[in-house]
Structure 1
């Protein structure tokens, strides 16, 4: 493991060496935290299907954030912090334009803030990190005398507290897409998501429904993440304050990101799924704190990408492998009729080694009628037009030292709530240039974007479509065309390596 001092020395003294091979370099985005219990054999647990959220009345839902015990590692139980006490939380299956209110009730011992990732959401329902739901009867407030990491606690005006519960409004005036929701609490997002506060929200619309893509039980959301476990089966995480009540942050060796040694899919370790020899639509989400995956099929095979973070592509794109960074989604079709019945098709992570090289396995068990198809034209979204940009802005994601510890910063500044780095106008588009010193999956709230270039060259094939998160690699310059639509107000951009986010790598922007 690399200490904070050594890591900062590497950044300051070796510069471009971060982009090389070995240790923190190459494709690695964090430090692996080893589990303390024997790991189960892969492909012995069936893939779970998260429950569907049920409305309390038309357009209204309520979920309760609470602790519960689940069997994740066979033979042990794990306390999770989950929406409705499950990990993942219930899946919301909603329609475009179906104005939805979700009441989130907090029965955990700590504050929470719920962000709908990818949602075109009013600012007061966006899950701003200092807009918190506090457990009823508990007296939480801003950190006294400034924050231990980056001094935000002194600005009392940036903190809002709701006792016990609050309503989040989701207009869903956006294209069909695979979204997800997760905790976004100031300074504690990483450990609270690690403990289970995440779930899917699927937006559907007439355009997507009309396509002959796989549907029903052959349309499968897959939440991929990594975790580590203590000997008793509890989650293992290197928090400075395991209570998550006072002191934020992780042990110095993990400040570049925490990676677990157990790969979970929908909350199960290395699961299997029986499938027919037909096409299946796999809605892949990387819900890991820091780990990046390079997904391939074994014994060979191809993915046909039909959608990205913000919805359908214009036309399908075929890949032999897909690199997926934290918070990215890929909507892929796999045709299992390419394999004989009885085949075992393994989803591999070729960036991993040992147990983290496996993700899950598909067992092709039977033939079946398949009425699905992949059309040559999927959608007609508004194209990315560089000439439509009214301005260009640069956001530099970089580690620096402020005071006694390290910080991850944007444009050299740690996060300051209420101090926007940009004020884009509603209804306009801008070119945002992201630069970095490390792997930073950059997420923009509210606005969707298309990748224009990487280091002045065309974007990767996996950059296709409208997105809300982009994988920015070490010492890379990524240009995106960002479109600001839907709402005025305060939003943010940040690194979705959650340990970086918790160490100040966030910035406000205000849509005017």
Structure 2
């Protein structure tokens, strides 16, 4: 289908008290990770006047249109700039935006059709764009030091580009490929239809810059997905879920040591920042009217560190709430029924909800059982009445290639640990603080490898370039492990094995924890594909 397929395109969406909870226990470097309690997070208490839950309508980011097209390529322009938006009623919030919206505009691409996004940085700080889930050449992947400097210049560029987490005493390191003002990102889209997203990936500052608004959907479509009789048009809902908090003046609150984002670091422990206002597509606790029909929900956990267990209340009669049809990397082979979905930051789940199982007039709340007080509810669906519905869910959705673990040429282990260095809390992989020059793995193109991820506490692990398949988990596979994944959850003392194969593009890429505060505190590693 064409990029104009969607019929619901929206536009506008839009200093706090800090509670630092105890840090989790650490495993010893080089040892089997020790099971620890759920880690303490820094929770930011909201100070602004908030709307009543489910009093504001859900909105959708605008769908970006190409500036031009040719026989092989769609060309887009995006400007990263500050904007004043209405997120809380009666207040103006200053955000970091793509094209003046929060979330940024949605890009709808076609499988195997090239996209070029010319990105201009009018922000007061450097930025980097990573297409999360994109099968992307290294020079367009959004490596953490491949900065786009502000169009007006950046006096701190040399210091920033040569030092990672200077507050932790790292030695000077080689800079990335730095662009002045503008960069072209080239996305060949040689991959299946899937729900991707793009977001800032600037080294040391991913957490605060995503928190301030730098994220948007990137949807890839293909003929396999097009041919299925799934809900579409205004019954296909991309839902970007995140948490934030605001000061008394309605500004985003984040505990940066330097609010200008020139010097990295937090004023509190770095285990993860959470807010107490739940946003969906930038709207606090929205409602959305639905007919008694099937809807396709593209769920994205875009929170910095908050984990979600999403369910519907009340549950539908005669079955489970969700029929999962897709994961991070696109369609599953066959649908699976789920009562709830455990989502870690960065994960996407493509699901069908059949609202014909609810009586007209029912208010259905999407809940988060991992939340507390204000964060245990996400949004509300208002079932308005009957409607014709020709959509259905086929028993077979797609053909999913299986990566055979028996064909694996090697096994690599990556141990994610919270530990201390020189009296400071740090987050390491294989006892290594991140260095742009250190290569932790050297996979070859076209070879299947087994990667084992081990953890001392909760870590969502994200791998760039290619998706993987989860083949084993301590305690058994979970429903959320199904299909092609690019982000997988680790729980305390967990061990997860995945089969992975890198294709098409050689170069240096990253794997890292997608708890953005862990990422900013050096829980990243390089791998070099050749």
Secondary structure of 2:440's counterpart equals coil
CA contact (8 A) 1:213 1:374 kept: yes
CA contact (8 A) 2:347 2:487 kept: yes
* Cα deviation, residue 444, structure 1: 0.1
Aligned equivalent of 1:483, options 490, 501, 506: 501
Distance 1:146 1:404 in 2: 20
> Which residue of 2 is the match for residue 497 of structure 1?
515
Give the TM-score, by structure 2 length: 0.91
> Which residue of 1 is the match for residue 215 of structure 2?
198
* Cα deviation, residue 88, structure 1: 0.2
> Which residue of 2 is the match for residue 48 of structure 1?
59
> Which residue of 1 is the match for residue 284 of structure 2?
269
Distance 2:480 2:143 in 1: 29
Structure 1: 5+ residue stretches without partners: none
> Which residue of 2 is the match for residue 469 of structure 1?
487
* Cα deviation, residue 412, structure 1: 0.3
* Cα deviation, residue 152, structure 1: 5.3
Asked if residue 141 in structure 1 is aligned to residue 152 in structure 2, the reply is no
Distance 2:192 2:156 in 1: 38
Asked if residue 506 in structure 1 is aligned to residue 506 in structure 2, the reply is no
* Cα deviation, residue 418, structure 1: 2.7
Secondary structure of 2:381's counterpart equals strand
Distance 2:438 2:447 in 1: 21
Asked if residue 231 in structure 1 is aligned to residue 248 in structure 2, the reply is yes
> Which residue of 1 is the match for residue 464 of structure 2?
445
CA contact (8 A) 1:150 1:504 kept: no
Secondary structure of 1:285's counterpart equals strand
* Cα deviation, residue 385, structure 1: 1.4
Distance 2:123 2:340 in 1: 39
> Which residue of 2 is the match for residue 377 of structure 1?
396
Shift of the 29–450 alpha-carbon distance from structure 1 to 2, 3 Å rule, reads farther
Asked if residue 413 in structure 1 is aligned to residue 429 in structure 2, the reply is no
Secondary structure of 2:207's counterpart equals helix
Shift of the 240–39 alpha-carbon distance from structure 1 to 2, 3 Å rule, reads same
Shift of the 392–9 alpha-carbon distance from structure 1 to 2, 3 Å rule, reads closer
* Cα deviation, residue 12, structure 1: 6.6
More off after superposition, 158-167 vs 321-330: 158-167
Structure 2: 5+ residue stretches without partners: 1-17
- Superposed CA offset, 1:20-55 (max 9, x none): 4xxxx2xx6723211112332100110011000111
> Which residue of 2 is the match for residue 215 of structure 1?
232
Asked if residue 105 in structure 1 is aligned to residue 124 in structure 2, the reply is no
Distance 1:421 1:82 in 2: 34
CA contact (8 A) 1:142 1:153 kept: no
Distance 1:153 1:219 in 2: 48
Asked if residue 324 in structure 1 is aligned to residue 343 in structure 2, the reply is yes
Shift of the 374–400 alpha-carbon distance from structure 1 to 2, 3 Å rule, reads same
* Cα deviation, residue 405, structure 1: 2.0
Distance 1:210 1:151 in 2: 55
Distance 1:182 1:153 in 2: 27
Secondary structure of 2:234's counterpart equals helix
Give the TM-score, by structure 1 length: 0.94
Shift of the 229–3 alpha-carbon distance from structure 1 to 2, 3 Å rule, reads closer
More off after superposition, 271-280 vs 34-43: 34-43
* Cα deviation, residue 381, structure 1: 1.5
More off after superposition, 172-181 vs 484-493: 484-493
> Which residue of 2 is the match for residue 32 of structure 1?
43
Shift of the 320–3 alpha-carbon distance from structure 1 to 2, 3 Å rule, reads closer
CA contact (8 A) 2:33 2:454 kept: no
Shift of the 426–53 alpha-carbon distance from structure 1 to 2, 3 Å rule, reads same
Distance 1:102 1:180 in 2: 14
> Which residue of 2 is the match for residue 394 of structure 1?
413
Asked if residue 154 in structure 1 is aligned to residue 172 in structure 2, the reply is yes
CA contact (8 A) 2:19 2:45 kept: no
CA contact (8 A) 2:150 2:180 kept: yes
Distance 2:494 2:399 in 1: 30
* Cα deviation, residue 159, structure 1: 2.5
* Cα deviation, residue 376, structure 1: 0.4
- Superposed CA offset, 1:269-297 (max 9, x none): 00000011100000000000000000010
Shift of the 346–497 alpha-carbon distance from structure 1 to 2, 3 Å rule, reads same
Aligned equivalent of 1:172, options 189, 194, 204: 189
CA contact (8 A) 1:249 1:499 kept: no
* Cα deviation, residue 146, structure 1: 4.3
Distance 2:342 2:158 in 1: 38
* Cα deviation, residue 260, structure 1: 0.4
> Which residue of 1 is the match for residue 102 of structure 2?
87
Aligned equivalent of 1:249, options 265, 287, 296: 265
CA contact (8 A) 2:195 2:220 kept: yes
* Cα deviation, residue 484, structure 1: 0.9
> Which residue of 1 is the match for residue 5 of structure 2?
none
More off after superposition, 480-489 vs 29-38: 29-38
Distance 1:167 1:487 in 2: 17
Aligned equivalent of 1:295, options 310, 325, 334: 310
Distance 1:93 1:155 in 2: 37
- Superposed CA offset, 1:378-432 (max 9, x none): 0111013111211100000001222352210100001111321000000111110
* Cα deviation, residue 141, structure 1: 2.0
> Which residue of 2 is the match for residue 333 of structure 1?
352
